[in-house]
Amino acid sequence: MAESFKTFLKHTYKDFKTRSVNPPLVRTSTMVFKSMFDLRKVQKKNFKNPRGGHFEYGRQGTTTTFELEKILTKLEDSYYTFLTPTGFGSVFLCLFSILRPGDEIIIADPIYSPTRLLTENYLKEFNISTKFYDPNNLNTIKDNFTSKTKLIYVENPGSNTFEFQDLTKIILFAKKKSILTAIDNTWATPYFLKPIKIGFDFSIVSATKYYSGHSDVMGGSLAVSKRVFNKVMKAQNMTGLRLSPDDAYLIMRGIRTLDIRLDKHQDNAIKIAKFLSKKKNIKVLYPYKKNTKNYKFWKKYYSGSSGLMGIKIKAENKKSVDKFVNSLKLFGHGYSWGGYESLALHQEINEQGNRKYLKLNKNEYIVRLHIGLEDSKDLIKDINKSLRFLR
């Protein structure tokens, strides 16, 4: 990418045929050809260059989805980027592409809870076993490795608890053992971290979140290295996990402002993290504080931080934590994040999944905050008013 990330996002597409600054929205199931000769010609092109956007049937994609794939491939600095109907669809496509009966996967303990259910429970039925490693002790990866290990799956930072890891150490171990690596990079997006560039084979992003940015579309992306491209292409063709042209169009519309929005999310989040850090009964789970392990590993790999954070609250009364969350006026209460709006969610310990390495002391509770695009002063006032309910 010759120009800067910010400039590229503003010039992702121009259609001089229709004189449109936005890509045409092409919806179709059947693609019509003038003759069988023309159809076979496209099939040959697709066989020779499967990354070229030569489609013969709507399930393969349209020019609309292909434009988004090209944009994200450039942003990721990847060999290619596949699109799926949801962020979790990208998780599934990654695992389905390479795991087979008898294989083992080593996965970060603070993983997105549906990913934990998929790996720990569902894959077990197919004789694929899952082992979890401690993000604060990467030697547990080595301890769990066997000759059957096929993949190390990372989520960075950890889901809800926001542990940052030494990514190079993980990649070097994987390469030494000739196993594949995947990372869920939804928190940062390639605006702040480019996983394929530093050595990962798979980079997963829930496009539902910051790519879209407006809480009105669902989608996922799976950026890949060259060595796994053919496996993922085959798996996607078999499963039909494709993003619709309408959703691709909405994501392209949102992604033009990805940098502007993430810069604002980050600015707001840092201000709120610093405000909350002064409260005795709260520990902020966000990379704002220098001379800490989390800050060190964040700074080593990332160029910025997003708007999602956790806070660990110490309270004698559990109901007071719910009261704190419920009394927030500018924070909605619901799943997902990455949109323009602020959200707050109190997650019970059992909602974190069967966490092996999560240590919460008595009377400690985790609340997840997504800091939106509102005025940070208003958000701080809202939080400050609600803190009085904590007991």
pLDDT at 76: 97
| Angstrom distance (rounded) from CA 95 to CA 182 | 9
Hey, which bits of 72-123 come out as E strands? 80-84, 104-108
Q: What is the pLDDT of residues 121-178, one digit of tens each?
A: 999 999 999 999 999 999 999 999 999 999 999 999 999 999 999 999 999 999 999 9
Count of beta carbons in the 10 Å neighbourhood of residue 263: 13
pLDDT at 93: 98
pLDDT at 14: 66
∠ at Cα 282 (116, 348), nearest 5°?
30
Residues listed for the chain: 391
* Three-state DSSP state, 340: coil
What's the pTM? 0.94
pLDDT at 291: 85
Hey, which bits of the chain come out as E strands? 80-84, 104-108, 129-133, 149-155, 180-184, 202-206, 220-224, 282-285, 308-314, 331-332, 342-347, 364-370
Going from the N-terminus, what domains does the chain have, and what CATH number goes with each?
5-255 (3.40.640.10), 258-389 (3.90.1150.10)
pLDDT at 4: 86
pLDDT at 10: 81
| Angstrom distance (rounded) from CA 51 to CA 66 | 9
pLDDT at 22: 79
Measured in whole angstroms, the distance separating CA 45 from the mean position of its chain's CA atoms is 32
pLDDT at 328: 98
pLDDT at 194: 98
Q: Residues of 157-176 as b/e, b for ≥16 C-beta within 10 angstroms?
A: bbbbbbbbbbbeebbebbee
Which two tokens mark 377?
Answer: 């002063």
| Angstrom distance (rounded) from CA 20 to CA 164 | 43
Of 186, 208, 206, 224, nearest in space to 94 by CA: 224
What is the β-pairing status of strands 331-332 and 282-285?
A: unpaired
- Ranges of residues in the chain with a pLDDT under 50 are none
∠ at Cα 73 (70, 75), nearest 5°?
110
Of 382, 380, 367, nearest in space to 318 by CA: 367
pLDDT at 24: 83
